[in-house]
Structure 1
Amino acid sequence: MTTHLSRRNLLSRAAVLGGLLTVSAPLVACSRTEPGTGAPGGDADLLTALRKRGHVRVGFAGEAPYGFQDGGELAGEAPTLHREIFTALGIPELRPTLTEFGALIPGLLAGRFDVVSAGMAITPERCAKVAFSEPEFVSPTALMVREGNPKGLSDLASCAAKGVRVGVLTAAVEGGYAKAAGVRDGAVVSVGKQQDGLDALLAGRIDAFALTGISLRWLARTNGSAAVEVLEPFVPVIDGVKQYSPGGAVFRTGAVSLREAFDDELARITGDPGRYVGLIGKYGFTEREVPPRTLRTAELCAG
């Protein structure tokens, strides 16, 4: 059995510089609903309408490395994958709308855009309002340690066995993972944001920083001179249950044909790890983030 805890809404969201994905329309703060092509009432024929229109309106939240703005252009995991998919579907252009993370689903339901392109975690609560694609990625946990891994760590169980101090983001799921692995309460150190964890590690206040491998690799990349390294990711287990944090694209529930066509193209990408990494490896995604074939959105939505 597997369960899949949402953690994306627990992390601080900071847009940082990275690779670019060029889009042919400028980024805007809002988008007008276009009659017959994006409003909820037209969702049954939305795939056909988008092909005729030649572009898809995507909402994103400015969260690196999932979907963010850099110099007036759109970058990140989700926009890169989605552009590849929509191009294959005959919809060659993304027109992005920058939106607060908490306003993405309301904006989608109001017809401000056609799809959420933000690596949003798939949860039962969200599934009650919208329809998710199959998973685009999973988020295995990893440890950031000082260069050379002086404590000889590998995962949270090794942290518990060696009695080291583990940094976690305040209110994020890694604190629970650490305690379940046997790390004593006094050795779990909360930090406010990702950069605080790296700084605490370099200062010797913690011996490891636990977060998703995706986020830690991005953090290491944006602190290129820091004497740290990110260890191999692992999937935490609580009471015999693997803890995944999958994310995907988000559609209105009526956009069935669009979502099904999207899923078909997504499966071609996730079924080819080399292609997957070739597309989004520059954002810190590896073969470890490729969703298992057995991981299905219907299961995630059921809880």
Structure 2
Amino acid sequence: MAHYPNLSRRGFLTRTAAVGGLLAVPGALTACSKTDEGGAAKAEGGKGVLDKLKEQGFVRVAYANEAPYGYKEGDELKGEAPTLHREIFKALGVDELRPTLSEWDGLIPGLQAGKYDVISAGMAITPERCANALFSEPEFISPTAMMVGKGNPEGLTDLASAKQAGVTIGVMSGAVEGDYAEGAGIDGGKIKTLQSSQDGADAVKAGRVQAFLLTGISLRWLAKTNPETQVTDPFLPELNGVKQYSPGGAVFRKGSEDLRDAFNEQLKKITSDKQRFVGLIGQYGFTETEVPPAELKTADLCKG
């Protein structure tokens, strides 16, 4: 059986980690403000960040070893973000990604401290994070899905069908899927909290829950090592009438607007071509369902 890095929520949708660990390292947020104000933008003799990267021939990227977003297998950096970013940076004239492993909570503080140029970890775009870093346009969205038993015996398709069937739903501890289930009117007694994604798969296989709720991306990856299960088609849950796209993107240090803008130009060429998008990162469980809609903009996501 293949071994994959720990598939956790990466703070992706949890309230407690919504600021990407910024509260955990407060000193790092203020210590590099001078760099943020201009040092990054005009590196070495007034040149922009992208010009510097082109000259040196590599870009420093951070990853958190979280499959399928960014992880190492042997000596090879793999996953959604490094694969997309490698393609984009090659188009920009920067041929090499030089990876740095970081704990999830340290990704943004490390970026601000100048340890790397880009976070390649599938980080969710939130207003709290936007206050401390620059995000690309969405490089993917994360519709929700359900892991169910083989054959989907309850015929579940979304939360409305789960409510109607009266089944028990599993959700990750602290993750927003619990809110999705409650928002859909599922009784609290029918929502079971689990500590890890594998716990969710095990609960489905044992019949303790009839469905485990998570992003379709994560569930399809999890199903690789849990063949007794299957994953429903993704759907967009709503909270207070608002569709939950859960988009993620690349992250840059403030002052790197030139790099971010050039990156976005190349990213658009990929996200506007579904066949190319799936061709690049389909191996990591990404489908046309994860292609971000053109109208979904980071500027709006940063406003909250």
TM-score (normalizing by structure 2) = 0.86
User: Secondary structure in 2 aligned to 1:8?
Assistant: coil
CA contact (8 A) 1:136 1:247 kept: yes
| Distance across 2 between alignment mates of 1:7 and 1:160 | 27
Specify the alignment match of 2:54 in structure 1.
Answer: 51
CA contact (8 A) 1:58 1:94 kept: yes
Specify the alignment match of 2:229 in structure 1.
Answer: 228
CA contact (8 A) 2:148 2:210 kept: yes
User: Secondary structure in 2 aligned to 1:43?
Assistant: coil
Change (3 A) 1:55 1:210: same
Deviation at 1:237, TM superposition (A): 1.3
Per-residue CA deviations over 1:199-244 (Å, capped at 9, x if unaligned) read: 0111010101110000000000133xx3211010000012321112
Deviation at 1:43, TM superposition (A): 2.3
Deviation at 1:9, TM superposition (A): 5.7
State, as a whole percentage, how many aligned pairs show the same letter: 60
Please provide the CA RMSD for this pair.
1.7
Count of aligned residue pairs for this structure pair: 270
1:284-303, aligned counterparts within 5 Å?
A: 284-303=285-304
Match of 1:63 among 50, 62, 66: 66
The one-letter amino acid of 1:233's match is P
Deviates more, 1:139-148 or 1:40-49: 40-49
| Distance across 1 between alignment mates of 2:279 and 2:149 | 28
User: Secondary structure in 1 aligned to 2:65?
Assistant: coil
Specify the alignment match of 2:220 in structure 1.
Answer: 217
| Distance across 2 between alignment mates of 1:117 and 1:52 | 21
TM-score (normalizing by structure 1) = 0.86
CA contact (8 A) 1:65 1:218 kept: yes
Per-residue CA deviations over 1:157-215 (Å, capped at 9, x if unaligned) read: 10001100001001111111011111111000111100000101110101011100000
The one-letter amino acid of 1:193's match is S
Change (3 A) 1:77 1:117: same
The one-letter amino acid of 2:197's match is Q
User: Secondary structure in 1 aligned to 2:151?
Assistant: coil
CA contact (8 A) 1:56 1:91 kept: yes
2:243 is the counterpart of 1:245:
no
Specify the alignment match of 2:39 in structure 1.
Answer: 41
Match of 1:189 among 189, 192, 205: 192
2:129 is the counterpart of 1:131:
no
Specify the alignment match of 1:10 in structure 2.
Answer: 14
Gaps of 5+ in 1: 1-5, 12-37
Specify the alignment match of 1:158 in structure 2.
Answer: 161
